[in-house]
Structure 1
Amino acid sequence: MEPDWQDRAFHHHIATLIDALDGPDFWTRTTRVIERFATFDNWVALVFIRGRAPLVCAESPMPDGTVDLLFRAYLEGMYQLDPFYINACERPRAGLVTLAEVAPDNFRMTDYYQRYFKSNIIGDEVQFNVPFDAQRTLIFSLGAKHHYTERDIAQFALFAPWVIALMRQRLAYESLIASDGVADVPQSEAVEPSALAALREADSAGRFEAVTQQNGRTPLTAREIEVVRQSLSGFSTRAIAERLEISFETVRAHKKHIYAKLGVSSQSELFALFYEPRAREGV
Protein backbone atom coordinates (compact mmCIF):
# COMPACT_ATOMS: atom_id res chain seq x y z
CA MET A 1 0.00 0.00 0.00
CA GLU A 2 1.32 3.41 -0.95
CA PRO A 3 2.03 5.48 2.21
CA ASP A 4 0.51 8.93 2.32
CA TRP A 5 2.52 12.13 2.71
CA GLN A 6 1.74 12.37 6.42
CA ASP A 7 3.25 8.93 6.99
CA ARG A 8 6.35 9.92 5.04
CA ALA A 9 6.68 13.14 7.04
CA PHE A 10 6.37 11.21 10.29
CA HIS A 11 9.16 8.82 9.32
CA HIS A 12 11.29 11.82 8.39
CA HIS A 13 10.72 13.32 11.86
CA ILE A 14 11.76 10.07 13.56
CA ALA A 15 14.93 10.07 11.46
CA THR A 16 15.76 13.59 12.65
CA LEU A 17 15.33 12.45 16.26
CA ILE A 18 17.76 9.60 15.73
CA ASP A 19 20.24 12.09 14.29
CA ALA A 20 19.69 14.35 17.33
CA LEU A 21 20.27 11.63 19.95
CA ASP A 22 23.70 12.97 20.91
CA GLY A 23 22.78 16.65 20.62
CA PRO A 24 21.63 19.31 23.11
CA ASP A 25 18.25 19.77 21.43
CA PHE A 26 17.13 16.12 21.53
CA TRP A 27 14.35 16.70 24.06
CA THR A 28 13.07 19.81 22.32
CA ARG A 29 12.94 18.00 18.98
CA THR A 30 11.11 15.09 20.58
CA THR A 31 8.41 17.39 21.92
CA ARG A 32 8.01 18.99 18.50
CA VAL A 33 7.34 15.62 16.89
CA ILE A 34 4.80 14.57 19.52
CA GLU A 35 2.97 17.90 19.52
CA ARG A 36 2.12 17.40 15.85
CA PHE A 37 -0.26 14.67 16.96
CA ALA A 38 -1.22 15.50 20.58
CA THR A 39 -1.72 18.75 22.45
CA PHE A 40 0.17 19.49 25.65
CA ASP A 41 1.39 22.66 27.37
CA ASN A 42 4.62 21.87 29.20
CA TRP A 43 7.27 19.18 29.34
CA VAL A 44 10.30 18.14 31.35
CA ALA A 45 12.89 15.36 31.23
CA LEU A 46 14.07 14.27 34.69
CA VAL A 47 15.94 11.56 36.47
CA PHE A 48 13.93 10.26 39.43
CA ILE A 49 16.24 9.00 42.19
CA ARG A 50 14.87 7.04 45.09
CA GLY A 51 15.17 9.10 48.27
CA ARG A 52 16.73 12.11 46.52
CA ALA A 53 15.70 15.17 44.57
CA PRO A 54 15.08 14.65 40.84
CA LEU A 55 17.72 15.91 38.45
CA VAL A 56 16.82 17.94 35.38
CA CYS A 57 17.92 16.89 31.91
CA ALA A 58 15.84 19.52 30.09
CA GLU A 59 12.63 21.46 30.59
CA SER A 60 10.22 23.60 28.60
CA PRO A 61 11.02 27.32 28.89
CA MET A 62 8.69 29.79 30.55
CA PRO A 63 6.86 31.98 27.98
CA ASP A 64 8.44 35.16 29.39
CA GLY A 65 11.88 33.62 29.91
CA THR A 66 11.69 33.85 33.72
CA VAL A 67 12.53 31.11 36.24
CA ASP A 68 9.65 28.77 37.03
CA LEU A 69 9.50 29.23 40.81
CA LEU A 70 6.87 26.53 41.28
CA PHE A 71 9.10 24.00 39.55
CA ARG A 72 12.01 25.06 41.76
CA ALA A 73 9.80 24.43 44.80
CA TYR A 74 9.06 20.99 43.36
CA LEU A 75 12.77 20.19 43.09
CA GLU A 76 13.42 21.48 46.60
CA GLY A 77 11.04 19.04 48.24
CA MET A 78 7.54 18.74 46.84
CA TYR A 79 8.68 15.99 44.48
CA GLN A 80 8.33 13.71 47.52
CA LEU A 81 4.54 14.06 47.17
CA ASP A 82 4.45 13.56 43.40
CA PRO A 83 2.48 10.38 42.59
CA PHE A 84 4.68 9.77 39.53
CA TYR A 85 7.83 9.98 41.66
CA ILE A 86 6.35 7.71 44.33
CA ASN A 87 5.26 5.16 41.73
CA ALA A 88 8.63 5.20 39.92
CA CYS A 89 10.43 4.54 43.20
CA GLU A 90 8.05 1.85 44.43
CA ARG A 91 7.22 0.08 41.15
CA PRO A 92 9.79 1.04 38.50
CA ARG A 93 8.77 -0.07 35.01
CA ALA A 94 9.37 1.05 31.46
CA GLY A 95 6.49 2.46 29.46
CA LEU A 96 3.75 5.06 29.45
CA VAL A 97 2.39 6.05 32.87
CA THR A 98 -0.78 8.13 33.28
CA LEU A 99 -1.95 10.24 36.21
CA ALA A 100 -5.09 8.13 36.52
CA GLU A 101 -2.89 5.06 37.11
CA VAL A 102 -0.78 6.49 39.90
CA ALA A 103 -2.79 9.22 41.67
CA PRO A 104 -3.82 8.29 45.24
CA ASP A 105 -7.51 8.22 46.11
CA ASN A 106 -7.45 11.66 47.78
CA PHE A 107 -4.90 13.24 45.44
CA ARG A 108 -7.06 16.18 44.32
CA MET A 109 -7.81 17.06 47.94
CA THR A 110 -4.15 17.52 48.88
CA ASP A 111 -2.33 20.80 49.33
CA TYR A 112 0.26 19.49 46.86
CA TYR A 113 -2.43 19.25 44.18
CA GLN A 114 -4.04 22.60 45.05
CA ARG A 115 -0.83 24.61 45.51
CA TYR A 116 1.51 23.02 42.98
CA PHE A 117 0.00 20.58 40.52
CA LYS A 118 -3.18 22.56 39.79
CA SER A 119 -1.18 25.76 39.35
CA ASN A 120 1.77 24.36 37.42
CA ILE A 121 0.49 21.33 35.47
CA ILE A 122 -3.15 22.46 35.73
CA GLY A 123 -5.05 19.58 34.15
CA ASP A 124 -3.33 16.29 33.44
CA GLU A 125 0.04 14.60 32.97
CA VAL A 126 1.56 11.54 31.36
CA GLN A 127 5.09 10.25 31.59
CA PHE A 128 7.32 7.98 29.55
CA ASN A 129 9.50 6.05 32.03
CA VAL A 130 12.81 4.22 31.54
CA PRO A 131 14.34 2.70 34.71
CA PHE A 132 18.08 2.26 34.22
CA ASP A 133 19.10 0.78 37.57
CA ALA A 134 17.51 -0.13 40.91
CA GLN A 135 17.46 3.47 42.12
CA ARG A 136 16.92 5.67 39.08
CA THR A 137 14.39 6.22 36.32
CA LEU A 138 14.67 8.54 33.35
CA ILE A 139 11.27 10.16 32.78
CA PHE A 140 9.83 12.38 30.06
CA SER A 141 6.73 14.21 31.28
CA LEU A 142 4.04 15.94 29.22
CA GLY A 143 1.65 18.19 31.14
CA ALA A 144 -1.56 19.78 29.89
CA LYS A 145 -3.99 22.46 30.98
CA HIS A 146 -6.81 20.15 29.91
CA HIS A 147 -7.61 16.56 30.83
CA TYR A 148 -6.28 14.10 28.30
CA THR A 149 -8.99 12.28 26.37
CA GLU A 150 -9.01 8.57 25.63
CA ARG A 151 -7.81 9.44 22.15
CA ASP A 152 -4.91 11.45 23.60
CA ILE A 153 -3.87 8.54 25.84
CA ALA A 154 -4.17 6.12 22.92
CA GLN A 155 -1.93 8.40 20.85
CA PHE A 156 0.69 8.54 23.59
CA ALA A 157 0.50 4.76 23.96
CA LEU A 158 1.01 4.41 20.20
CA PHE A 159 4.15 6.55 20.42
CA ALA A 160 5.47 4.87 23.58
CA PRO A 161 7.57 2.13 21.89
CA TRP A 162 9.72 4.52 19.86
CA VAL A 163 9.83 7.20 22.57
CA ILE A 164 11.03 4.62 25.12
CA ALA A 165 13.55 3.19 22.63
CA LEU A 166 14.99 6.64 21.93
CA MET A 167 15.14 7.44 25.65
CA ARG A 168 17.13 4.27 26.27
CA GLN A 169 19.62 5.33 23.61
CA ARG A 170 19.70 8.88 24.98
CA LEU A 171 21.00 7.59 28.32
CA ALA A 172 24.46 7.22 26.79
CA TYR A 173 24.55 10.97 26.09
CA GLU A 174 23.21 12.29 29.41
CA SER A 175 25.76 13.08 32.15
CA LEU A 176 23.99 10.80 34.60
CA ILE A 177 26.69 8.98 36.50
CA ALA A 178 28.81 10.72 39.12
CA SER A 179 31.53 9.22 41.29
CA ASP A 180 29.18 8.96 44.27
CA GLY A 181 26.60 7.07 42.22
CA VAL A 182 24.26 10.05 42.03
CA ALA A 183 23.11 11.38 38.69
CA ASP A 184 24.89 14.50 37.51
CA VAL A 185 23.36 17.16 35.27
CA PRO A 186 24.76 20.03 33.18
CA GLN A 187 24.56 23.08 35.43
CA SER A 188 22.99 25.25 32.74
CA GLU A 189 19.91 23.02 32.62
CA ALA A 190 19.61 22.22 36.30
CA VAL A 191 19.52 24.38 39.41
CA GLU A 192 22.14 26.89 40.47
CA PRO A 193 25.39 25.31 41.76
CA SER A 194 24.80 26.69 45.26
CA ALA A 195 21.45 24.89 45.44
CA LEU A 196 22.55 21.60 43.89
CA ALA A 197 24.24 20.25 47.02
CA ALA A 198 21.24 21.22 49.11
CA LEU A 199 18.88 19.43 46.75
CA ARG A 200 20.94 16.26 46.97
CA GLU A 201 20.63 16.33 50.75
CA ALA A 202 16.93 17.20 50.75
CA ASP A 203 15.71 13.64 51.04
CA SER A 204 12.50 13.02 52.90
CA ALA A 205 14.09 11.59 56.04
CA GLY A 206 16.37 14.61 56.42
CA ARG A 207 13.51 17.04 55.85
CA PHE A 208 11.25 15.46 58.48
CA GLU A 209 14.07 15.08 60.99
CA ALA A 210 15.11 18.72 60.59
CA VAL A 211 11.59 20.02 61.18
CA THR A 212 10.89 17.83 64.19
CA GLN A 213 14.14 18.93 65.85
CA GLN A 214 13.11 22.57 65.77
CA ASN A 215 11.97 24.15 69.04
CA GLY A 216 12.42 20.90 70.95
CA ARG A 217 9.62 18.98 69.24
CA THR A 218 9.31 15.32 70.01
CA PRO A 219 10.79 13.43 67.03
CA LEU A 220 8.43 11.41 64.86
CA THR A 221 8.95 7.68 64.65
CA ALA A 222 9.80 6.09 61.30
CA ARG A 223 6.23 4.80 61.02
CA GLU A 224 4.79 8.25 61.82
CA ILE A 225 6.99 9.83 59.13
CA GLU A 226 5.66 7.30 56.63
CA VAL A 227 2.08 8.12 57.64
CA VAL A 228 2.75 11.85 57.23
CA ARG A 229 4.32 11.36 53.81
CA GLN A 230 1.54 9.16 52.51
CA SER A 231 -1.17 11.38 53.96
CA LEU A 232 0.28 14.51 52.36
CA SER A 233 0.65 12.59 49.08
CA GLY A 234 -3.10 11.99 48.98
CA PHE A 235 -3.59 8.50 50.37
CA SER A 236 -6.70 8.22 52.52
CA THR A 237 -6.56 6.71 56.00
CA ARG A 238 -7.92 3.44 54.64
CA ALA A 239 -5.42 3.41 51.76
CA ILE A 240 -2.53 4.07 54.16
CA ALA A 241 -3.70 1.19 56.34
CA GLU A 242 -3.71 -1.13 53.32
CA ARG A 243 -0.30 0.04 52.09
CA LEU A 244 1.34 -0.31 55.52
CA GLU A 245 -0.64 -3.45 56.40
CA ILE A 246 -1.93 -2.02 59.66
CA SER A 247 -5.44 -1.32 60.89
CA PHE A 248 -7.53 1.73 60.06
CA GLU A 249 -7.64 2.65 63.76
CA THR A 250 -3.86 2.38 64.07
CA VAL A 251 -3.43 4.91 61.26
CA ARG A 252 -5.88 7.25 62.98
CA ALA A 253 -3.91 6.90 66.22
CA HIS A 254 -0.67 7.69 64.39
CA LYS A 255 -2.23 10.84 62.92
CA LYS A 256 -3.43 11.96 66.36
CA HIS A 257 0.06 11.50 67.81
CA ILE A 258 1.65 13.30 64.84
CA TYR A 259 -0.57 16.35 65.21
CA ALA A 260 0.08 16.48 68.97
CA LYS A 261 3.87 16.17 68.57
CA LEU A 262 4.07 18.85 65.89
CA GLY A 263 1.48 21.22 67.34
CA VAL A 264 -0.69 21.33 64.22
CA SER A 265 -4.42 20.82 63.81
CA SER A 266 -4.97 20.35 60.08
CA GLN A 267 -3.55 18.74 56.98
CA SER A 268 -2.79 22.17 55.53
CA GLU A 269 -0.73 23.12 58.59
CA LEU A 270 1.13 19.84 58.27
CA PHE A 271 1.89 20.56 54.61
CA ALA A 272 3.05 24.09 55.41
CA LEU A 273 5.32 22.85 58.18
CA PHE A 274 7.27 20.53 55.90
CA TYR A 275 6.96 22.11 52.46
CA GLU A 276 6.66 25.88 52.84
CA PRO A 277 10.03 27.55 53.63
CA ARG A 278 8.57 30.43 55.63
CA ALA A 279 6.62 28.08 57.84
CA ARG A 280 9.69 25.93 58.46
CA GLU A 281 11.89 28.93 59.21
CA GLY A 282 9.40 30.50 61.55
CA VAL A 283 8.76 27.58 63.85
Structure 2
Amino acid sequence: MESDWQDRAFHHHIATLIDALDGPDFWTRMTRVIERFVAFDNWCALLFTRERAPLVCAESPMPDGTVDLLFRAYLEAMYQLDPFYINACEKPRAGLVTLAEVAPDNFRMTDYYQRYFKSNIIGDEVQFNLPVDNERTVIFSLGAKHHYTERDIAQFAMFAPWVVALMKQRLAYEHFAQGAAEVAAADRVEVQSAASHGQLSEAGFASRIEAVTQQSGRVALTAREIEVVRLSLSGFSTRAIAERLDISFETVRAHKKHIYAKLGVSSQSELFALFYEPLGRAGA
Protein backbone atom coordinates (compact mmCIF):
# COMPACT_ATOMS: atom_id res chain seq x y z
CA MET A 1 0.00 0.00 0.00
CA GLU A 2 1.44 3.35 -1.02
CA SER A 3 1.99 5.82 1.84
CA ASP A 4 0.48 9.27 1.48
CA TRP A 5 2.36 12.57 1.56
CA GLN A 6 1.76 13.03 5.31
CA ASP A 7 3.50 9.73 6.04
CA ARG A 8 6.45 10.71 3.87
CA ALA A 9 6.60 14.16 5.50
CA PHE A 10 6.59 12.59 8.95
CA HIS A 11 9.50 10.29 8.10
CA HIS A 12 11.37 13.26 6.65
CA HIS A 13 10.94 15.21 9.90
CA ILE A 14 12.13 12.26 11.96
CA ALA A 15 15.21 12.02 9.76
CA THR A 16 16.04 15.71 10.27
CA LEU A 17 15.50 15.25 13.99
CA ILE A 18 18.02 12.42 14.07
CA ASP A 19 20.47 14.62 12.18
CA ALA A 20 20.00 17.30 14.85
CA LEU A 21 20.83 15.02 17.81
CA ASP A 22 24.19 16.72 18.40
CA GLY A 23 22.98 20.23 17.61
CA PRO A 24 21.76 23.13 19.77
CA ASP A 25 18.26 23.08 18.30
CA PHE A 26 17.47 19.41 18.93
CA TRP A 27 14.72 20.05 21.50
CA THR A 28 13.13 22.79 19.39
CA ARG A 29 13.04 20.45 16.40
CA MET A 30 11.45 17.76 18.58
CA THR A 31 8.63 20.12 19.52
CA ARG A 32 8.05 21.03 15.87
CA VAL A 33 7.56 17.40 14.92
CA ILE A 34 5.12 16.69 17.76
CA GLU A 35 3.11 19.90 17.37
CA ARG A 36 2.16 18.83 13.86
CA PHE A 37 -0.12 16.28 15.52
CA VAL A 38 -0.98 17.65 19.00
CA ALA A 39 -1.33 21.29 19.99
CA PHE A 40 0.52 22.55 23.07
CA ASP A 41 1.63 25.96 24.31
CA ASN A 42 4.95 25.59 26.11
CA TRP A 43 7.70 23.07 26.62
CA CYS A 44 10.93 22.42 28.46
CA ALA A 45 13.55 19.71 28.81
CA LEU A 46 14.95 19.26 32.32
CA LEU A 47 17.14 16.98 34.36
CA PHE A 48 15.39 15.95 37.57
CA THR A 49 17.73 14.86 40.37
CA ARG A 50 16.69 13.73 43.83
CA GLU A 51 17.09 16.51 46.39
CA ARG A 52 18.58 18.92 43.84
CA ALA A 53 17.08 21.71 41.76
CA PRO A 54 16.29 20.74 38.15
CA LEU A 55 18.83 21.59 35.46
CA VAL A 56 17.53 23.12 32.23
CA CYS A 57 18.47 21.46 28.95
CA ALA A 58 16.21 23.74 26.90
CA GLU A 59 12.95 25.68 27.27
CA SER A 60 10.42 27.44 25.11
CA PRO A 61 11.04 31.20 24.87
CA MET A 62 8.63 33.79 26.25
CA PRO A 63 6.59 35.51 23.47
CA ASP A 64 8.09 38.90 24.31
CA GLY A 65 11.60 37.61 24.87
CA THR A 66 11.59 38.35 28.61
CA VAL A 67 12.64 35.99 31.40
CA ASP A 68 9.89 33.72 32.74
CA LEU A 69 10.02 34.64 36.44
CA LEU A 70 7.49 32.00 37.43
CA PHE A 71 9.67 29.32 35.85
CA ARG A 72 12.69 30.75 37.70
CA ALA A 73 10.73 30.43 40.95
CA TYR A 74 9.93 26.84 40.03
CA LEU A 75 13.61 26.05 39.45
CA GLU A 76 14.62 27.72 42.69
CA ALA A 77 12.34 25.77 45.02
CA MET A 78 8.76 25.20 43.93
CA TYR A 79 9.79 22.12 41.95
CA GLN A 80 9.70 20.38 45.34
CA LEU A 81 5.90 20.42 45.13
CA ASP A 82 5.68 19.37 41.47
CA PRO A 83 3.88 16.00 41.21
CA PHE A 84 5.95 15.14 38.13
CA TYR A 85 9.21 15.79 40.01
CA ILE A 86 8.04 13.83 43.04
CA ASN A 87 6.94 10.89 40.88
CA ALA A 88 10.16 10.85 38.86
CA CYS A 89 12.23 10.74 42.05
CA GLU A 90 10.12 8.15 43.84
CA LYS A 91 9.14 5.91 40.91
CA PRO A 92 11.53 6.52 38.00
CA ARG A 93 10.41 4.90 34.75
CA ALA A 94 10.81 5.51 31.06
CA GLY A 95 7.89 6.56 28.90
CA LEU A 96 4.92 8.90 28.86
CA VAL A 97 3.67 10.32 32.18
CA THR A 98 0.42 12.29 32.38
CA LEU A 99 -0.79 14.77 34.98
CA ALA A 100 -3.78 12.55 35.74
CA GLU A 101 -1.40 9.74 36.70
CA VAL A 102 0.73 11.68 39.16
CA ALA A 103 -1.43 14.50 40.58
CA PRO A 104 -2.56 13.96 44.20
CA ASP A 105 -6.28 13.99 44.98
CA ASN A 106 -6.30 17.65 46.13
CA PHE A 107 -3.74 18.94 43.62
CA ARG A 108 -6.00 21.55 42.01
CA MET A 109 -6.85 22.98 45.43
CA THR A 110 -3.22 23.67 46.35
CA ASP A 111 -1.54 27.06 46.33
CA TYR A 112 1.13 25.51 44.11
CA TYR A 113 -1.50 24.80 41.47
CA GLN A 114 -3.25 28.18 41.82
CA ARG A 115 -0.16 30.36 42.11
CA TYR A 116 2.28 28.55 39.82
CA PHE A 117 0.83 25.78 37.67
CA LYS A 118 -2.38 27.56 36.69
CA SER A 119 -0.78 31.02 36.67
CA ASN A 120 1.91 29.79 34.30
CA ILE A 121 -0.83 29.31 31.67
CA ILE A 122 -0.87 25.54 32.01
CA GLY A 123 -4.16 23.69 31.98
CA ASP A 124 -2.60 20.29 31.43
CA GLU A 125 0.83 18.70 31.08
CA VAL A 126 2.48 15.51 29.93
CA GLN A 127 6.09 14.45 30.19
CA PHE A 128 8.30 11.98 28.39
CA ASN A 129 10.66 10.53 31.00
CA LEU A 130 14.04 8.84 30.65
CA PRO A 131 15.78 7.68 33.86
CA VAL A 132 19.55 8.20 33.62
CA ASP A 133 20.27 6.27 36.82
CA ASN A 134 18.61 5.72 40.21
CA GLU A 135 18.79 9.41 41.12
CA ARG A 136 18.36 11.28 37.82
CA THR A 137 15.69 11.47 35.12
CA VAL A 138 15.65 13.54 31.95
CA ILE A 139 12.15 14.84 31.24
CA PHE A 140 10.62 16.49 28.19
CA SER A 141 7.52 18.42 29.24
CA LEU A 142 4.69 19.66 27.03
CA GLY A 143 2.23 22.06 28.66
CA ALA A 144 -1.08 23.30 27.29
CA LYS A 145 -3.59 26.00 28.22
CA HIS A 146 -6.33 23.46 27.51
CA HIS A 147 -6.89 19.94 28.78
CA TYR A 148 -5.52 17.23 26.54
CA THR A 149 -8.16 15.00 25.01
CA GLU A 150 -8.09 11.20 25.01
CA ARG A 151 -6.96 11.39 21.40
CA ASP A 152 -4.11 13.74 22.36
CA ILE A 153 -2.94 11.37 25.09
CA ALA A 154 -3.17 8.41 22.71
CA GLN A 155 -1.06 10.32 20.18
CA PHE A 156 1.57 11.11 22.82
CA ALA A 157 1.61 7.45 23.88
CA MET A 158 2.15 6.38 20.27
CA PHE A 159 5.08 8.79 19.97
CA ALA A 160 6.65 7.82 23.32
CA PRO A 161 8.89 4.96 22.06
CA TRP A 162 10.76 7.05 19.49
CA VAL A 163 10.75 10.22 21.63
CA VAL A 164 12.35 8.39 24.56
CA ALA A 165 14.78 6.57 22.24
CA LEU A 166 15.95 9.91 20.80
CA MET A 167 16.22 11.38 24.29
CA LYS A 168 18.52 8.50 25.21
CA GLN A 169 20.75 9.23 22.22
CA ARG A 170 20.71 12.93 23.11
CA LEU A 171 22.19 12.34 26.57
CA ALA A 172 25.76 12.30 25.29
CA TYR A 173 25.38 15.86 24.00
CA GLU A 174 23.87 17.50 27.08
CA HIS A 175 26.09 19.63 29.30
CA PHE A 176 25.30 17.64 32.41
CA ALA A 177 26.76 14.54 30.70
CA GLN A 178 30.23 16.05 31.12
CA GLY A 179 31.69 14.75 34.34
CA ALA A 180 28.59 12.62 34.86
CA ALA A 181 30.52 9.97 36.76
CA GLU A 182 31.76 12.48 39.33
CA VAL A 183 28.32 14.08 39.71
CA ALA A 184 26.64 10.69 40.05
CA ALA A 185 29.16 9.64 42.70
CA ALA A 186 28.55 12.85 44.68
CA ASP A 187 24.80 12.35 44.36
CA ARG A 188 25.06 8.78 45.63
CA VAL A 189 27.00 9.89 48.72
CA GLU A 190 24.40 12.58 49.47
CA VAL A 191 21.47 10.21 48.94
CA GLN A 192 23.08 7.49 51.04
CA SER A 193 23.64 10.00 53.83
CA ALA A 194 20.00 11.04 53.69
CA ALA A 195 18.87 7.42 53.59
CA SER A 196 20.93 6.61 56.68
CA HIS A 197 18.80 9.15 58.55
CA GLY A 198 15.57 7.76 57.14
CA GLN A 199 14.95 10.85 54.98
CA LEU A 200 15.63 9.63 51.44
CA SER A 201 12.68 11.38 49.79
CA GLU A 202 12.46 14.30 52.21
CA ALA A 203 16.08 15.45 52.62
CA GLY A 204 16.00 18.41 50.21
CA PHE A 205 12.59 19.61 51.29
CA ALA A 206 13.50 19.14 54.95
CA SER A 207 16.54 21.37 54.54
CA ARG A 208 14.35 24.19 53.22
CA ILE A 209 11.80 23.79 56.01
CA GLU A 210 14.51 23.79 58.68
CA ALA A 211 16.24 26.85 57.19
CA VAL A 212 13.03 28.89 57.06
CA THR A 213 11.95 27.95 60.57
CA GLN A 214 15.38 28.84 61.96
CA GLN A 215 15.50 32.17 60.15
CA SER A 216 12.02 33.11 61.35
CA GLY A 217 12.63 31.95 64.91
CA ARG A 218 9.83 29.36 64.79
CA VAL A 219 9.77 26.02 66.58
CA ALA A 220 11.46 23.23 64.60
CA LEU A 221 9.30 20.47 63.13
CA THR A 222 9.88 16.76 63.58
CA ALA A 223 10.79 14.55 60.61
CA ARG A 224 7.25 13.16 60.46
CA GLU A 225 5.74 16.66 60.63
CA ILE A 226 7.95 17.71 57.71
CA GLU A 227 6.63 14.73 55.75
CA VAL A 228 3.08 15.84 56.46
CA VAL A 229 3.87 19.42 55.39
CA ARG A 230 5.35 18.28 52.07
CA LEU A 231 2.49 15.95 51.27
CA SER A 232 -0.10 18.50 52.29
CA LEU A 233 1.43 21.30 50.20
CA SER A 234 1.80 18.89 47.28
CA GLY A 235 -1.95 18.23 47.25
CA PHE A 236 -2.52 15.07 49.28
CA SER A 237 -5.70 15.15 51.34
CA THR A 238 -5.63 14.19 55.02
CA ARG A 239 -6.97 10.74 54.14
CA ALA A 240 -4.43 10.28 51.33
CA ILE A 241 -1.59 11.29 53.66
CA ALA A 242 -2.78 8.74 56.21
CA GLU A 243 -2.78 5.99 53.58
CA ARG A 244 0.61 7.00 52.19
CA LEU A 245 2.29 7.11 55.61
CA ASP A 246 0.33 4.13 56.95
CA ILE A 247 -0.99 6.05 59.94
CA SER A 248 -4.51 6.90 61.06
CA PHE A 249 -6.61 9.78 59.79
CA GLU A 250 -6.75 11.24 63.31
CA THR A 251 -2.95 11.02 63.66
CA VAL A 252 -2.54 13.13 60.51
CA ARG A 253 -5.02 15.67 61.87
CA ALA A 254 -3.04 15.81 65.12
CA HIS A 255 0.19 16.36 63.19
CA LYS A 256 -1.39 19.22 61.25
CA LYS A 257 -2.64 20.81 64.47
CA HIS A 258 0.86 20.66 65.98
CA ILE A 259 2.44 22.00 62.76
CA TYR A 260 0.12 25.00 62.63
CA ALA A 261 0.72 25.74 66.31
CA LYS A 262 4.51 25.51 65.99
CA LEU A 263 4.65 27.70 62.89
CA GLY A 264 1.99 30.18 63.95
CA VAL A 265 -0.23 29.66 60.90
CA SER A 266 -3.92 28.85 60.65
CA SER A 267 -4.43 27.69 57.06
CA GLN A 268 -2.90 25.81 54.16
CA SER A 269 -2.37 29.09 52.29
CA GLU A 270 -0.45 30.58 55.21
CA LEU A 271 1.67 27.42 55.36
CA PHE A 272 2.49 27.75 51.66
CA ALA A 273 3.21 31.47 52.03
CA LEU A 274 5.66 30.84 54.88
CA PHE A 275 7.92 28.72 52.70
CA TYR A 276 7.17 29.87 49.14
CA GLU A 277 5.45 33.27 49.15
CA PRO A 278 8.65 35.26 48.39
CA LEU A 279 9.06 33.09 45.26
CA GLY A 280 5.43 33.62 44.32
CA ARG A 281 5.74 37.36 44.63
CA ALA A 282 8.87 37.33 42.50
CA GLY A 283 6.93 35.67 39.72
CA ALA A 284 3.80 37.79 40.03
TM-score under structure 1 length normalisation: 0.89
Cα shift at 1:121: 4.0
Cα shift at 1:206: 1.8
The answer to whether 1:120 aligns with 2:120 is yes
CA distance in 2, matches of 1:145, 1:132: 30
The answer to whether 1:158 aligns with 2:158 is yes
In the alignment, what sits opposite 1:181? 183
**Alpha-carbon displacement from aligned partner over 1:235-267 (angstroms, at most 9, x marks no partner):** 001101111111111111110010001000000
Are residues 168 and 50 of structure 1, via their aligned partners in 2, closer, same or farther at CA, if it must alter by over 3 Å?
A: same
Cα shift at 1:277: 2.0
Q: Give the conservation status (yes or no) of the 8 Å contact 2:225–2:259.
A: yes
AA aligned opposite 1:92: P
Cα shift at 1:80: 0.5
The answer to whether 1:11 aligns with 2:20 is no
CA distance in 1, matches of 2:17, 2:258: 54
In the alignment, what sits opposite 1:55? 55
In the alignment, what sits opposite 2:109? 109
Cα shift at 1:180: 4.8
Q: Give the conservation status (yes or no) of the 8 Å contact 2:115–2:280.
A: no
- Which of 211-220 and 171-180 deviates more? 171-180
Q: Give the conservation status (yes or no) of the 8 Å contact 1:48–1:88.
A: yes
AA aligned opposite 1:169: Q
Within-5 A mapping of 1:167-178: 167-177=167-177, 178=179
Question: Secondary structure, in 3 states, of the residue corresponding to 1:216?
Answer: coil
CA distance in 2, matches of 1:279, 1:106: 20
The answer to whether 1:226 aligns with 2:208 is no
In the alignment, what sits opposite 1:22? 22
The answer to whether 1:260 aligns with 2:248 is no
AA aligned opposite 1:89: C
CA distance in 2, matches of 1:9, 1:42: 24
Gaps of 5+ in 1: 184-201
AA aligned opposite 1:60: S
In the alignment, what sits opposite 1:236? 237
Question: Secondary structure, in 3 states, of the residue corresponding to 2:61?
Answer: coil
Q: Give the conservation status (yes or no) of the 8 Å contact 1:176–1:182.
A: no
In the alignment, what sits opposite 2:74? 74
TM-score under structure 2 length normalisation: 0.89
Question: Secondary structure, in 3 states, of the residue corresponding to 1:176?
Answer: helix
Q: Give the aligned length.
A: 262
AA aligned opposite 2:28: T
CA distance in 1, matches of 2:24, 2:207: 34
Cα shift at 1:86: 0.6
Q: Give the conservation status (yes or no) of the 8 Å contact 1:53–1:203.
A: no
- Which of 140-149 and 239-248 deviates more? 239-248
Cα shift at 1:26: 0.1
Q: Give the conservation status (yes or no) of the 8 Å contact 1:273–1:279.
A: no
The answer to whether 1:277 aligns with 2:251 is no
Question: Secondary structure, in 3 states, of the residue corresponding to 1:43?
Answer: strand
**Alpha-carbon displacement from aligned partner over 1:191-241 (angstroms, at most 9, x marks no partner):** xxxxxxxxxxx9312210111112432111111111000000000011011
CA distance in 1, matches of 2:122, 2:165: 29
Cα shift at 1:279: 9.6
In the alignment, what sits opposite 1:213? 214
AA aligned opposite 1:59: E
Q: Give the conservation status (yes or no) of the 8 Å contact 2:45–2:58.
A: yes
Cα shift at 1:176: 1.5
The answer to whether 1:87 aligns with 2:87 is yes
AA aligned opposite 1:90: E
In the alignment, what sits opposite 1:134? 134
CA distance in 2, matches of 1:60, 1:278: 21
- Which of 235-244 and 169-178 deviates more? 169-178
Q: Give the conservation status (yes or no) of the 8 Å contact 2:87–2:102.
A: yes
In the alignment, what sits opposite 2:43? 43
Identity value in percent = 86
Q: Give the conservation status (yes or no) of the 8 Å contact 1:20–1:26.
A: yes
Gaps of 5+ in 2: 186-202
CA distance in 1, matches of 2:55, 2:274: 24
- Which of 75-84 and 174-183 deviates more? 174-183
